[in-house]
Structures are given as C-alpha cells and as structure tokens.
Amino acid sequence: MICEVIVDIAHSEVDKVFDYVSDGPIAPGARVAVPFGASVATGFVMRVKESSDCPAHKLKRILRAEERPALNAECLSLAQTVAARYRVPMALALRLFLPAEMRTGKVAETYRTYARFLGDVPTKNAPQQAACLAFLKEKGEADAAEVRKRFGAALGALVKKGGAALEKRRVLRDPYKEVAGTSPSHTLTAAQQRAVDAVEHTQKTVVLLHGVTGSGKTEVYLTLIARALAAGRTAIFLVPEISLTPQMLSQLRARFGSLAAIMHSGLSAGERFDEWQRLRDGSAKIAIGARSAVFVPLENIGVIVLDEEHDGSYCSESAPRYNTFDIALLRAAHNGCKLVLGSATPSVETYKRALEGEFELVTMPDRINARPLPDVTLVDMRREVRRGNASPFSAALRDRLSDCLAEGQQAILFLNRRGYSQTVLCRDCGYVAKCEHCDVSLTYHSEEDCLKCHYCGTKYRMLTACPACGGTHLSYTGTGTQRIVRDLAALYPEARILRMDNDTTSGKEGHFRILKQFSERKADILVGTQMVAKGHDFPLVTLVGILDADMSLHFPDYRSNERTFQLVTQVAGRSGRGREKGEVILQTYDPDNAILRFAAAYDYEGFYRHEINLRAALMFPPFALIVRVMVTGAENDAALSALREVYEKLQRLYAAYPEEFLFFNRMHAPIRRIQGKYRYQVLMRLSSARFLREIYDAAAAVTRRDALVYVEENPSNLS
C-alpha cells in the first residue's frame, strides 16, 4: 500500500505530499515516522492508494505508524481548507489539530501503580503484613506508593505470597480538580425556551443569540449541549478568555461531570495531552476552551457555541491567522449542526448579517427575573478637574463607593491600564522612558519598583534621574491599576481590595484564585483591566466604576467605537446581577460622546444604526475589507527590502484594478519596533475580497528569508 505523507516541517519547500510504502494497513490521519533526507521525520498520512508514479526502487518505507489516527477525516479536510485559505504550509495547518506536546513527544502518558487485594494468605508473626492485607482487603485496591508509605516492605512480601498484586495503570491528569460543580440547573424561562426552540427549528446554520448581560444565555447554551448529548452527539463550547473558563467549566462539570474536557494554553503540557486524548477516545464529549478548541478531534458534533462572539481573541495572531468563526462554520456545516453565536454586544458585522437574514436572530432583551439593568451615570471629569479634584475618582464615585462599602456590598473598578503609571516623563527635557527593543514607552510598576515594557516584558531599573539631561524632575503620567489600588487603600483603609490584571493572573489558576476570592466575599473591591469586564457573575456587586471611559475611544482603529460600546456594556453588566439593583459610574472627559450615550442607555440598536451609517459613509468594514501585509525583520534593511519586494507585486495589482482599492499605501507600522523587530506594512482597503488570493500569493512569494511577511484580514489590532 502507498501512503501520501505530509512531513511535519513547516517550510514552503517541503510543502507537498511524498509517497511512502507501507507493509500493513494505515488509515489516513495517522502519524507516521518516515525516513526523510538523512534523518527520520514525523509525518501525517493524507491519503492511501494502490500505486505510485514514483519508481518502486525509489520509494522508501514507513518506519512506524500509530494505530489510532490522530486526525479524523473531517479534521484532515479542514486542515487542507485552512492551508489553502490562509496560504500556509500544510504541516502548519495540521499542527492546529494536535496538542503541541504530541509533536515534540515531550509528554508521556502518566502511569501509577496500584496494589490490589487477591486473597487471604498466612501472615503469622508478621503483624505489618496482616495489617496491610486487612487494609487492602477492605479497600479492594490502593495506590501502591501510599501502601508502601504506611506498611513498608510488607506489601512486597504479600505480593510474593500471592495475597496482593501490583498493577500499573494509566492515569489522566485532571486540570481544575479544584473546580467543583456547584451551579444548579434552572427551569428555563419563557425567553430561554424561545431561544432554545428557535435554535432547534431554524433552517439556518448560524444563530445569533443577542441577549443583554444577565439574560441567562449560559443556561441556553447548556440546554443545547445537553440536547446534543442526549441525541448521542458531542459539543464544542468556545469562550474568549482563559479567565472565563473556570466559571464555565464549573457549570459544565456540575451538569455533565467528566464528559466535559477543557482545552487551553494555560494547562500544563501533560494535562492538555490527556484532555485531548479523552476527547478523541470519546470519554469526554464536550470541549470547552478558547479559540484553539475549535480544532478538537470530536466526531458527530451536535452543536457549537461561540460565546461573546464579538471578542477580538477569536482572531489568531500567529500563522495561520484564522478567524475562529470561519472554522466553526465549516465544522457546523460538515456535521450538520448549529453554530450559536452569543453576545450582549454583537459585532457590527455579525449583526448586519443577522439583520439581512443570513443568520437567525434571537433576542433576549430582559435580565433573568426582570432584574433591572443598572443605571449608568455619566460623570464629566473636566468639571472635577475644574473643581480641583485631580484624583482618578470623581466625587460621585467616592460617594457611591462609600455607600456600597457601608452596606456590605461589593464594587468593581475598571481601568484599561495595568502597572502604576503609563509613562515616565522628564519635565526638564521631555524625555520619555522607552523600551530598547520596542518603540513604546515603559510603564512603572510600583510593587517591583521597576519599569516594564508591556510588549516584550523586559524590565528596567527605575530611573532616579533623566538619562538624557540628568534632570531629577521625573513625573509619572497616566494612572494604572497598581496606583488605583494604592489610592483606594488610602481612601478606604478598612476595605479589602483585589487587583486583577496581567501581572496578578500568571499561571493557570491565577484568574481562578482571584475570582474565587472575590466571589467568596473575601474582598470588597475588585480593581482590574478588561479581564474584569467579561462574563463574571458576582451577585453582590452593586457598583461598577469605569474610571476612564475615553481610553479606548481614541484609538486609531475603525473598531474603536464598537470596542468602547462593547467594553462599557460588558463592564456595566457586572453590576446588579443579584437581588439589589446595581449602578454604574462612567467617568469621561467627553460626556456628550454619542457612543458613550448609547452605551449608558443600553441602546444597542441606536449604536448599531449610528455606527453602520458611519462605516457605510467612510467605506469601512463590513462595506470593505481591510488587508494589511505586515513585514517584520531584525535588520531594518532586510525588512525594508522585503517590503519593497511585496509592495512592487501588490502595486501591479493596484495598477491593473485601481477600482478595487479604496486605499493603498506602504508605511511604517504604528509601532515601529516590537521585540527588536522592525515593522512595516502595506495597508489596503479593498471594496471586495476578489483579489485576496493574489495578495496572499504576493506575500508568500517574497524570497527574503530574513524577514517575515504575512497577511492580516480586518486585523483586530492595527498597532
């Protein structure tokens, strides 16, 4: 038998199938070891056939093959689609479907030895053996290491006598052992029932569930998943952030026990490997995780849920730069199941497609139990400054915070900036401390008393004097979460304050620990970056303060209005989810801003009409496609010459079809250097996707090896 094999080397020059001979049968999707050049490589069997065009004496033999194919037929064909669509080597597309540790072979299955009771044997004059035997008899079996710890050599003696046996068995690592299932299942409300029915009855593949925060979308998802399982099928549940998964997982665990497996990058290598195996072997039937979970080896999928569909993290930022929605849609079509998108603030593009009838639109306009949405008060920070209040807290916020604490309730303060201060500025000469590897200013971190680069993580010693002029009038401008915590502690010495941002949430359990502490009322105030905005359900929170609502408005990005609306709505949605009504204080220097006003009024429709008209007038997505060809390189000359190469190719396209290009130019990327790499871009706004393929081809054809060239479609980050 002949196998067509893709060798697991992600390089365009070996990006084709090679024929190998196999003695025994091998199924497509299996990983194999094959001789390649002078060494042995891993590969994937793409297809099997009877004969090869390659002369028999030249054909090499497959050395080893795994029994059970790592990839099923669906995954194989999906990998082919991904490779073609995003123009990456097949090997790179195939890797998406495996936990990285399976490729490197660095993790092993873990085994544990158990001691099992076989039968009574004489133990005269050996009290330890008698005790050990009695122990095993009672338990049936126990971890051998523990038995040895308690009874020493007695176990060995019993094994010799035939009273006990040792057995080595595979154990699966269980991430989130701590996450106990706690959430009760609810009887569906009428609105939830309508949503479930709509999903099950529509002829359309994609359903957009537009439900305000606290409308009970999760219960709808869980019901749909339960129905899929009841029908003998499986489910994928995608969430945007790791910080969300422990909460979701605990609900899934409560309902589905160990049928739920978690897939995400925060797990240890071994855990990821085991969870993946449980999904492939069918012992787990629900995959929950961030975007990479869309590639899990489940078969017969009955429903795919993509929660918080508007979230930017669904776009991959490394090759292949896929959009999770596109992959999920392919899988839904292949499996004949529904793809359910959920959000309180759908992206403008998704909402447009729903309004136009491409997706089924289901709305849940009210919170569970008709709980009111919190009142949002816009506070004009310019007035505060005029009144001499230079602190990050308005008088109104301080008042409400005092009340909230006095009543024993909890508050969340949101600020989209971690660290202590944004920049360190010399007031004598205007010098700003910057990273040596990145074209960005450094952030002061008070806890470690150092300056940090938020792009590459490099730490620098704190400055005592300006390195440019020697002046000592250094000022810290812009407030970060650390500083907020310090100021709060001074204002409310008795309050217990928690901070949640990238600095406090390292490690798999980082988010979970903080969220757990807060939900167990071990803190009164939670201060955080956008991590605190997402999905969390804390019934005791009655006050949310948004300290600087303008921050995200002034980003040079066509999505900045949308982002701001989403962020304000999401953060506000954390308030008043329990019995008490909640409120939101939104601090801004631009209180008349239309977007903030729509957000404060929970007027998604109003926001949408405003925004879609703007996008149509300016010809921005979804009326056009923004495509950026990025060029990066450690050497400026190399990057520039690669830029020239790709630009010339693209320019020919531009010259031939100028009507397709609403914008076309090359330039520095907004951040000119990150992690030591120089960054350039060819920025294009296209009136259609007609020449997307040619653009990918142009980028792939750049011959320089010392520069990286890649394509981004409607990038969620234009820095």
435's contact among ligand ADP, Zn ion, none, with CB below 5 to 8 A by partner kind, is Zn ion
Which residue lies nearer to Zn ion by CB, 205 or 423?
423
Residue 477 has phi, psi (to 5 degrees) of -110, 155
How far apart, in whole angstroms, are the C-alpha atoms of residue 365 and residue 2?
58
Q: Does 179 bind Zn ion (CB under 5 A)?
A: no
Question: Alpha helix locations (H) across 41-164?
Answer: 73-85, 90-95, 100-104, 127-139, 144-151, 154-161
Give the type of residue at 344: A
- Name which position in 455, 460, 492, 623 contacts Zn ion (CB under 5 A): 455
The H-or-E segment that residue 199 falls in is helix 190-201
% helix / strand / coil in the chain, to the nearest 5?
35, 25, 40
Q: Which stretch binds Zn ion (CB under 5 A): 138-146, 388-396, 458-466, 585-593?
A: 458-466
Which residue lies nearer to ligand ADP by CB, 115 or 195?
195
The H-or-E segment that residue 289 falls in is strand 286-289
Q: Shortest approach of ligand ADP to residue 690 CB, angstroms?
A: 39
Q: Shortest approach of Zn ion to residue 717 CB, angstroms?
A: 16
Q: Which stretch binds Zn ion (CB under 5 A): 224-232, 267-275, 450-458, 518-526?
A: 450-458
Concatenating the DSSP letter of every residue in 318-334 gives: SSS--BHHHHHHHHHHH
Nearest to 299 by CA among 337, 346, 352: 337
Which residue lies nearer to Zn ion by CB, 437 or 644?
437
Q: Does 354 bind Zn ion (CB under 5 A)?
A: no
How far apart, in whole angstroms, are the C-alpha atoms of residue 643 and residue 648?
9
Q: Does 308 bind ligand ADP (CB under 6 A)?
A: no
Q: Does 435 bind Zn ion (CB under 5 A)?
A: yes
214's contact among Zn ion, ligand ADP, none, with CB below 5 to 8 A by partner kind, is ligand ADP
Beta bridge partners of 10: none
Which residue lies nearer to Zn ion by CB, 613 or 636?
636
Q: Does 368 bind ligand ADP (CB under 6 A)?
A: yes
Q: Does 311 bind ligand ADP (CB under 6 A)?
A: no
Nearest to 369 by CA among 187, 167, 597: 187
Q: Does 437 bind Zn ion (CB under 5 A)?
A: yes
- The SS3 call for residue 385 is helix
The interface with ligand ADP within residues 177-196 (CB under 6 A) comprises 186-189, 192
Q: Does 615 bind ligand ADP (CB under 6 A)?
A: no
Residue 436 has phi, psi (to 5 degrees) of -75, -25
Q: Shortest approach of Zn ion to residue 599 CB, angstroms?
A: 33
Give the type of residue at 196: V
218's contact among Zn ion, ligand ADP, none, with CB below 5 to 8 A by partner kind, is ligand ADP
How far apart, in whole angstroms, are the C-alpha atoms of residue 342 and residue 241?
15
Which residue lies nearer to ligand ADP by CB, 118 or 368?
368
Give the type of residue at 369: N
14's contact among Zn ion, ligand ADP, none, with CB below 5 to 8 A by partner kind, is none
Residue 423 burial (CB count, 10 A): 17
Q: Does 434 bind Zn ion (CB under 5 A)?
A: no
Q: Does 103 bind Zn ion (CB under 5 A)?
A: no
Q: Shortest approach of ligand ADP to residue 218 CB, angstroms?
A: 3
Which residue lies nearer to Zn ion by CB, 455 or 657?
455
Which residue lies nearer to ligand ADP by CB, 393 or 565?
565
Using the Cα atoms of residue 25, residue 29, residue 35 and residue 40 in order, give the sign of their dihedral: negative
Concatenating the DSSP letter of every residue in 36-63 gives: ETTEEEEEEEEEEES--SS-GGGPEEP-
Q: Which stretch binds Zn ion (CB under 5 A): 446-454, 549-557, 596-604, 691-699?
A: 446-454
219's contact among Zn ion, ligand ADP, none, with CB below 5 to 8 A by partner kind, is ligand ADP
396's contact among ligand ADP, Zn ion, none, with CB below 5 to 8 A by partner kind, is none
The interface with ligand ADP within residues 201-220 (CB under 6 A) comprises 211, 213-219
Chain Cα centroid distance, residue 608: 26
Q: Shortest approach of ligand ADP to residue 499 CB, angstroms?
A: 23
How far apart, in whole angstroms, are the C-alpha atoms of residue 700 and residue 695?
9
Please give the DSSP secondary-structure letter assigned to residue 619: T
Question: Which strands sit side by side in the sheet containing 541-546, from one edge to the other?
Answer: 375-380, 583-588, 541-546, 410-414, 525-528, 497-500
Which residue lies nearer to Zn ion by CB, 453 or 625?
453
Q: Does 537 bind ligand ADP (CB under 6 A)?
A: yes
Residues 6+ apart with CB under 8 A from 383: none
Q: Which stretch binds Zn ion (CB under 5 A): 359-367, 396-404, 430-438, 557-565?
A: 430-438
> Which residues of the shown chain bind ligand ADP in the complex (CB under 6 A)?
186-189, 192, 211, 213-219, 368, 537
Which parts of this chain interact with Zn ion (CB under 5 A)?
435, 437-438, 453, 455-456, 458
